[in-house]
Amino acid sequence: MSEAQRHIALAVGGSVAIHRALDLASELRKRGWRVTALMTASAQKLVSPLFFKAMTGERVFHDLWTGADHDAYDHLAPAREAQAMVFAPATAGLIARLAAGMADDIVTTCSLAFRGPRLLCPAMNHRMWANSLVQENV
């Protein structure tokens, strides 16, 4: 895969494991990948989008409407450009919204438009993980 093709959309959910997503973004970048972060509102309550911008060197997508005045489809750029989509950390709530086909934020909207491989990196309390509804959603 050429350098231009090495692009991952990193969809970040709101979990205390968010620091692992920062580590992942940094490591992928060191290995030559272009990383575009997308953040849920909950993720933004834990870490500023500026941290992901610093780790990736790329614009961070955190709002469905940012850029809409320039290009009505700008919010779908990560879904068009990336070869893979990684959900890290994937909370129980984010997994449920993905399973239901919701498009209520930048992460879930891009997920619906994305046509490549997806990798879920669940992060939640072990009792939540064991819940049959969470398992069904996965």
Mind giving me the DSSP string for 61-95? B--TTTTTTT-TTGGGHHHHH-SEEEEEEE-HHHH
Q: What are phi and psi of 40, to 5 degrees?
A: -75, 165
pLDDT in the model for residue 2: 56
Summarize the confidence of residues 106-118 as an average pLDDT: 96
Summarize the confidence of residues 4-10 as an average pLDDT: 87
pLDDT in tens, 51-97: 999 999 999 999 887 655 555 567 888 899 999 999 999 999 999 99
pLDDT in the model for residue 65: 74
In the three-class reduction of DSSP (H, G, I as helix; E, B as strand; rest coil), residue 123 is classed as: coil
Summarize the confidence of residues 87-114 as an average pLDDT: 97
Question: Can you say how many angstroms the Cα of residue 9 is from the centroid of all Cα atoms in its chain?
Answer: 6
Summarize the confidence of residues 92-107 as an average pLDDT: 97
Residue in 59, 47, 53 with CA at minimum distance from that of residue 13: 47
pLDDT in tens, 15-44: 999 999 999 999 999 999 999 999 999 999
